[in-house]
Chain A
Amino acid sequence: GAVVSQHPSRVICKSGTSVKIECRSLDFQATTMFWYRQFPKQSLMLMATSNEGSKATYEQGVEKDKFLINHASLTLSTLTVTSAHPEDSSFYICSARDRAKAYEQYFGPGTRLTVT
């Protein structure tokens, strides 16, 4: 149980284009999903907290107009990186909190984004 999927696992895009990453909780309902970014050899950096049916809460320094988050259902959240630039190249990881187990958070496998 507690499986979180992400799609795509890897994506290469050209500078200036937009990329959408999907995060799904496969066997549980997630009222809250989190989006993280991780640069090589660095720790996880929380970008935003996404609650189903409401606007995402962004961490300080994260541009909400650049990183669009939608949490339309209890099993799906999406992150769209708009007008991507090479400095946006990173490992993007989502996690989901099980509605029935509020204390526990499960991670997706991550999406490696490379912007050329």
Chain B
Amino acid sequence: QKEVEQNSGPLSVPEGAIASLNCTYSDRGSQSFFWYRQYSGKSPELIMFIYSNGDKEDGRFTAQLNKASQYVSLLIRDSQPSDSATYLCAVNQGSNTGNQFYFGTGTSLTVIP
């Protein structure tokens, strides 16, 4: 079983719509959760992180965490063509600096003008 699972997509949404990206993880001890955006040929860029159950909003982005269901999602409101990229979910088991991040395989998002 993979540590972190995401639908590979591709996910297509029209411009202005809400894009919903989902991620599940296997380790119940996981404490911190991250969403990265990766454009083709570029390295990942941190978009958001969330540690507590519930929603966390930052501009057009909302991260949602449900530890009981081992589920984290990213909502992108008012999607723009520039949001077209691969979105990587990452999970970290704790605050110990030796703990590694586990990445999902990423979901490819295309926002259609």
Contacts and interface: CB of A to CB of B under 8 A. Distances in A.
Contact of A109 (B32, B36, B42, B100): B42
A32 B36 CA distance: 19
Interface residues of B, number: 25
B101 A107 contact: no
B45 A43 contact: no
Interface stretch (A63-71, A82-90, A97-105): A97-105
A104 B101 CA distance: 10
B103 interface: yes
Interface string B40-56: 01111110010100000
Contact of A43 (B32, B41, B101, B106): B106
Contact of A44 (B92, B97, B103): B103
B25 interface: no
B80 to A, nearest CB: 22
Interface string B84-113: 000010101001111011011110000000
A102 B97 contact: yes
A31 B97 contact: yes
B41 to A, nearest CB: 8
Interface of A: 31-32, 34, 42-44, 46, 49, 51, 91, 93, 97, 99, 102-110
Given A31-B97, A110-B43, 6 more contacts: A43-B104, A43-B105, A44-B103, A46-B100, A93-B43, A103-B32
